[in-house]
Amino acid sequence: MENKELLELAIEAASNSYCSYSGFSVGAALLTEDGRIFTGCNVENSSFSLTICAERTAIFKAVSEGCRKFKAIAIVGGAEGNYSHPCCPCGACLQVMSEFCDDDFSIILTNGEFTLGEFLPMRFELN
């Protein structure tokens, strides 16, 4: 699957976003090593700490379906359907990614492809 296709699926997922407080919708499309795709969107809550990001939604959906090996994730975000600016994953999402992915896991944004290692060079690990 090409990066462009994953970004398009992330945009489609963002259309399901529940962002009535911030007006900032986010969508993610997660590609598993076996070729399956899981999408997610952000879901806000009036108690802001209970909000969930699109990236974690996609990962948790995949894990709940028995998938634990991932190849790439595409992420888009913006207000009023404008996804032209890159939307970087937050620290919580990066840490969740690091639970299941190596440093070379691909993170695809509207401005290019990056690795988890670039975003999170010193991940937390319970040793």
pLDDT tens, residue by residue, 14-66: 999 999 999 999 999 999 999 999 999 999 999 989 999 999 999 999 999 99
CB atoms within 10 A of CB 95: 15
Question: Would you please indicate which residues are annotated as catalytic (active-site) residues?
Answer: 55
Handedness of CA 74, 55, 28, 66 (dihedral sign): positive
**How many alpha carbons fall within 13 Å on the CB side of residue 63?**
11
- Is 87 flagged in the annotation as binding? no
Tokens 């634990």 — which residue? 68
- Is 93 flagged in the annotation as binding? yes
- Is 19 flagged in the annotation as binding? no
Does the pTM surpass 0.85? The reply is yes
Q: Which CATH number applies to 3-119: 3.20.20.140, 3.40.718.10, 3.40.140.10, 3.60.10.10?
A: 3.40.140.10
- Give percent of the chain above pLDDT 70: 100
Q: Residue 75: which of 57, 58, 62, 87 has the closest Cα?
A: 87
Token digits of residue 59 = 């990962």
51: exposed, middle or buried (Cβ count in 10 Å: 0-12, 13-18, 19+): middle
Predicted confidence at residue 116, as pLDDT, reads 98
| Residue ranges per structural domain of the chain | 3-119
